[in-house]
Structure 1
Amino acid sequence: MSTPDKSIDPRLLASAKAEFMKQGFLKAELKTICANADITTGAVYKRYKGKEDLFCAVVEDIVNALSDFMASRSEVELSAFSNEEIYSSWIMSYDAMVPMFRMLYEYRDTFALLIGKAAGTRYEDFNHEFVLQMSRAYVRYYNEARKRGMAKADITQEEFHVLISSFWTCVCEPFVHDMSWAQMEEHCRIVCRFFNWKEVIMLERPR
C-alpha cells in the first residue's frame, strides 16, 4: 500500500488561504488553488469533500482557539467566585484584554477570513453566533452580580446583545483593516476606555 504524500497538505492549505483571502470563499477557484499548489484536483478530493471543507480546514485552528477562549470564560461556576472576583471581572483593563488581541493576532490571516470572507460556508454566520455566546456569558456574570446586590442597573438580554455586538465589532475591525501590532495595542487601550462595563451595569464594589 502506498504512503500518502503528506508534503502536499501544507502547500495546499497555504495556496487555499491565499486564494480565499484574495477572492473570498464564493469567488475563489479550486482550479486556481490547485495550480498554485502544483497539485491535481484529485489530490484535493482525496482529502476534502470540496471547496467548503477546504475553507473550513484553513480556519479550523482559529475556530478552535476562539471556542477554547470562550469556554475558559463562560464554563465556570460563578457561585464559587468571591465578591471581589465578580467585581474585577467587569473592569476593562489593558492587561485583561490584550491576551485576546494577542491570540487573534497570532491567527490574524485566518481570523480575517473567518469574520469577513466566509459567506457561502457553514461559518458565514460566525460573528452573529459568537456574539450570542458572548452575550449569554455576560448575562450570566451580570445576573450573578445582580443577585449579590452589586449591579444596580436593570439591563435586558436584548440590550446586552446590542452592546456585545458593538464590542465584538470593535475587536474585529483592526483585523479587517490589517492593523500592525503596535496599532492593535493602542486600539486595545482605546476599547478599554470606551467600554466601561462598570458604568453600564452600575457596579458597586462589595463591602
Structure 2
Amino acid sequence: MKDKPDTRELLLKVAKEEFLYKGFEKASMRTICKNANVTTGAAYFFFKDKDDMFCHLVVNEAEVILSHIVEIENENKIIRDDKKISLDSAIDINTLQIKGILKYMYDNFDVFLLLLCKSIGSSMENFYDKMVECFKNLNRDYIMNKRDTGEIGVYFDENILHNLVSLQVSAIVEPIRHQLPREEALKQVDVIARFFYGGWNELMRLKKA
C-alpha cells in the first residue's frame, strides 16, 4: 500500500511521545494506535509488539554509542603507550572524547532519554549497563596488569573496577537524565574528565610499600 511507510512513521512518532510521557512499562499499544488513528492490527503489521516498536526508536543510536566507546578506548591504548604525551594533553584528549559522546547524545536527545530513563521493562533496559561493561572490558587488562605488577598498591578487584567505571559513565550521562541544557552539560565535561583522569592516574602512582 502506498501509505504504509507513512503509517509506520506515524506510529513511531506517536509511540515516541507515549514512551517519553509514560515510560515503556506503562505505555499502551492501544493508546498509541488510538492517538495515531491506526488499528491495532495495522500496528502489528509493522511491529511484532511494543518492545519491537521501542527498539526501532532507539537501537541504531545505542549501537553507535557502544561502537564509539570501543573507538575511544582503542585511541586511549595508543595514548597510554606514548610516553611523549603529557598528563595535560591526555586530559585534553579525554575531554574531547567525552564531549563527542555527549554531543551525539544531545543530537539524539529523545532517544537517549528513552534509553536512560524510560526503558525499564524493555529489552533495552540494560543499555546503561552495556555502556559500563564496554568501558570496563576495554580497560580491564590494562588496569589489572597494573595491579598485578604492583603499580596499583592498594586492594583492587573486579568489583572496584566496576564501581569506578560505573561512576564515570554515570557522570557522563547524568546531564541527559536530568535534562540539562546542552551548553551546561558540555561545560561540565572539563571537570569530569580532569577528575576521573586524575583519579585513575593517582591509583597508578600508589606503589606497594
Q: How much has 1:87 moved relative to structure 2?
A: 7.5
CA shift, 1:92, in A, is 3.2
Return the letter of the residue paired with 1:163.
L
Partner of 1:101: 102
Alignment of 1:17-166 (within 5 A): 17-74=16-73, 82-84=81-83, 91-93=90-92, 94-143=95-144, 146=146, 152-154=151-153, 155-166=156-167
**Contact 2:18/2:32 (<8 A) preserved:** yes
Point out the structure with the larger helix share: 2
What is the aligned-residue RMSD (CA, Å)?
3.0
Alignment of 1:176 with 2:177, yes or no, is yes
Map Cα deviations across residues 75-95 of structure 1 (whole Å, 9 max, x no partner). 68958974338987x933322
The alpha-carbon distance between structure 1 residues 43 and 79, as it changes in their structure 2 partners (threshold 3 A), is: same
Q: In the aligned structure 2, how far is the partner of 1:101 from the partner of 1:27?
A: 28
1:202 maps to which residue? Answer: 205
Deviation, structure 1 residue 37: 2.1
TM-score by length of 2: 0.81
C-alpha distance after superposition, 1:155-181 (max 9, x if no partner): 433211110111111112110111111
- TM score, norm. by length of structure 1: 0.82
- Unpaired segments ≥5 residues, structure 1: none
C-alpha contact (below 8 Å) 1:138/1:160 kept by paired residues: no
1:75/1:44 CA distance change after superposition, 3 Å: farther
Quickly say closer, same or farther: Cα 1:87–1:37, change in 2 above 3 A: farther
Checking the alignment, whether the CA contact within 8 Å between 2:70 and 2:138 is kept in structure 1 is no
Q: Which amino acid aligns with 1:34?
A: C
Structure 2 unmatched runs, 5+: none
1:107 partner amino acid: N
SS of equivalent to 2:5: coil
Q: Sequence identity of aligned pairs in percent?
A: 25
Q: Is the 8 A contact 2:30 2:40 kept in 1?
A: yes
* Number of residue equivalences: 199
| Distance (whole Å) between structure 2 residues aligned to residue 57 and residue 134 of structure 1 | 25
Q: 1:199 and 1:77, CA in 2 relative to 1: closer, same or farther beyond 3 A?
A: closer
